[in-house]
A and B are shown apart, each in its own frame.
Chain A
Amino acid sequence: MNGNENQDLQRYNANERSNHWAVALLFVLAALSGLALFHPALFWLTNLFGGGPWTRILHPFIGVAMMLFFLGLAFRFAGRNRFKAHDRQWLSQWRDVISNQEENLPRIGKYNAGQKLLFWVLVISMLALLFSGIVIWREYFSDFFGIGMIRFASLLHAFAAFVLITSIIVHVYAAIWVKGSVGAMTSGKVSRAWARKHHALWYDEVRKNQR
């Protein structure tokens, strides 16, 4: 009955992985085209999209597509990202987190408090990007809004994008830093030792369900 005790654990199924990577690829395109229009030093990135006008045309459509896929991801993962009592304790021990002293931390479920924080920051910044982005989408929507609103939305859009990009830099680094994580989003599997070390409560839960 315990024949599967040595197999890796399934962390994400094929749909979850596909959804994640759809968002990730669209994010890269949205970020590159958006940064091209944000700072003159990066205007050359418009060449990747066929020039300035094409970058201006494509960017909002890429953003909307990213948002749609992200909504799917958010609904899949929201339940697992509710804050619990032990999350406060985990966050207060951030020094143990960054110095790899994980044995001092409370036992946690599928996501640690840092991942949950990232999740909700992404939700908020994505929504801010969507709404401000519509206001500054000159070709179709800007005529419906006043100039004060458009100016505010322009600044908000840049700020939310900054928060999003910075968060994703942290997200990507965390995957590089915590070895064994990337497989969760490629093959969908993580090793039992990885799960036990980083997500002990989730490890218990999965094992219990396997019996």
Chain B
Amino acid sequence: MATQDIIARSATTTASPSVRQFDEVAKLIDTTVCIGCKACQVACSEWNDLRDEVGDNVGVYDNPSDLTADSWTVMRFDEHETSEGDLEWLIRKDGCMHCEDPGCLKACPSPGAIVKYDNGIVDFDQDKCIGCGYCVTGCPFDVPRISKKDNKAYKCTLCSDRVSVGLEPACVKTCPTGAIVFGTKDEMKEHANWRIQDLKGRGYENAGIYDPQGVGGTHVMYVLHHADKPQLYSDLPKDPAISPLVGAWKGVAKPLAMLAMAATAAAGFFHYIRIGPNRVSKEDEAAVEHDAAQAGTNSPDAGGTSDER
């Protein structure tokens, strides 16, 4: 994408180019239609040329068991027993949510290593990444991973390379049930509303969209059967937001600390100019000579008491 399309940039305190108008995009993941086939995982590694190490089965369907620097999306499986005693298999495709207000971008200290495009995609530039892991600290969804091979941060790009030339993300293209759809954010909301109405008609009273406003909304949204309890879906946070600790660290602390340090140095400078240095005076030197003379004639204790002035 052109540099004009970058509307937010890590470690940058001035405005990014913002005159162009662009429709925000979104990926909608309908958990109620997902069958957990993991074709999206395969398509992701296929398109992005990622080959994660073959791991161990941890006793459940989750495989790999967590996001890694080489697995940018994973299916998370949860068995949920409803109050009626029915079993529901809640499957959620996990990965970067592409927040409108990204915690990773806020935390990143390297200018331009994390950018947000005007279509809403949040992307990492590994060339500028320094490997500090602050993006991991900042993310409310526990998504970025630092590679053990190169100490760079990786996560889902929402296939920004495909989207920029008018293609849908690889996971969307491959999904066999249409559980993953892609378009403008408005279209996706409309699509979600239609799905939610359908679900409500089938008895899922709490069906709803997951587009958390604590991070300004996301460019990856979910349709959930139980939108009132997103935690059921492998701990999807109910009200995600940038942690106040990260907010303080990367917000008010930066200018305040810089100002206070500069003010301390300035206070020293002006103290020197207004009041001036503290010098040893002629009288102080004379007193020392007096002490020495006394020490020569008096008892050894004399030096200790002779300097009262």
Which A residues are within 8 Å of any B CB, using their own CB? 2, 5-6, 36-41, 43, 46, 51-53, 55-56, 98-100, 102-103, 136, 138-139, 142, 147-148, 150-152, 154-155, 158-159, 162, 165-166, 169-170, 173, 176-180, 191-194, 196-197, 200, 204, 207-208, 211
Contact = CB atoms under 8 A, between A and B. Distances in A.
The 6 closest A-B pairs by CB, nearest first: A138-B133, A173-B268, A52-B130, A40-B11, A5-B292, A151-B245
Contacts of B238: none
A166 B264 CA distance: 7
B253 A155 contact: yes
A162 B277 contact: no
Interface of B: 11-13, 109-111, 128, 130-134, 136-137, 142, 146, 151, 243, 245-246, 248-249, 253-254, 257-258, 260-261, 264-265, 268, 271-272, 275-281, 284-285, 287-288, 291-292, 295-296, 300, 303-304, 307, 309
A166 B292 contact: no
B307 A151 contact: no
A189 B151 CA distance: 49
Contacts of A211: 295, 300
A100 B272 CA distance: 11
Contacts of A102: 278
Given A100-B276, A211-B300, 15 more contacts: A5-B295, A6-B292, A36-B109, A37-B132, A43-B11, A43-B109, A53-B131, A102-B278, A136-B137, A138-B136, A147-B136, A155-B246, A162-B257, A169-B264, A191-B280
A142 B134 CA distance: 11
A138 B131 contact: yes
Contact of B280 (A154, A177, A180): A180
A207 B258 contact: no
A78 to B, nearest CB: 25
Contacts of A170: 264, 268
Contacts of A200: 307
Contact of A52 (B128, B248, B300): B128
A2 B292 contact: yes
A98 B274 CA distance: 11
Nearest to A55: B130
A204 B272 CA distance: 30
A2 B294 CA distance: 11
Contacts of A173: 265, 268, 271-272
Contacts of A165: 261
Nearest to A192: B288
A192 B286 CA distance: 11
B153 to A, nearest CB: 10
Nearest to B285: A193
A203 to B, nearest CB: 8
A39 B252 CA distance: 11
A136 B245 CA distance: 14
Given A40-B11, A102-B278, A193 B287 contact: yes
A179 B131 CA distance: 45
A177 B276 CA distance: 7
A171 B303 CA distance: 30
B261 to A, nearest CB: 6
A142 B296 contact: no
B271 A98 contact: yes
Contacts of B13: 40-41
A50 to B, nearest CB: 11
Given A136-B137, A208-B300, A98 B275 contact: yes
Contacts of A52: 110, 128, 130
B234 to A, nearest CB: 16
Q: Specify which of A2, A55, A98, A154 lies most central, judged by the most chain B CB atoms within 10 Å of its CB.
A: A154
B254 A39 contact: yes
Contact of B151 (A53, A136, A152): A53
A179 B261 contact: no
B130 A53 contact: yes
Contact of B291 (A98, A152, A196): A196
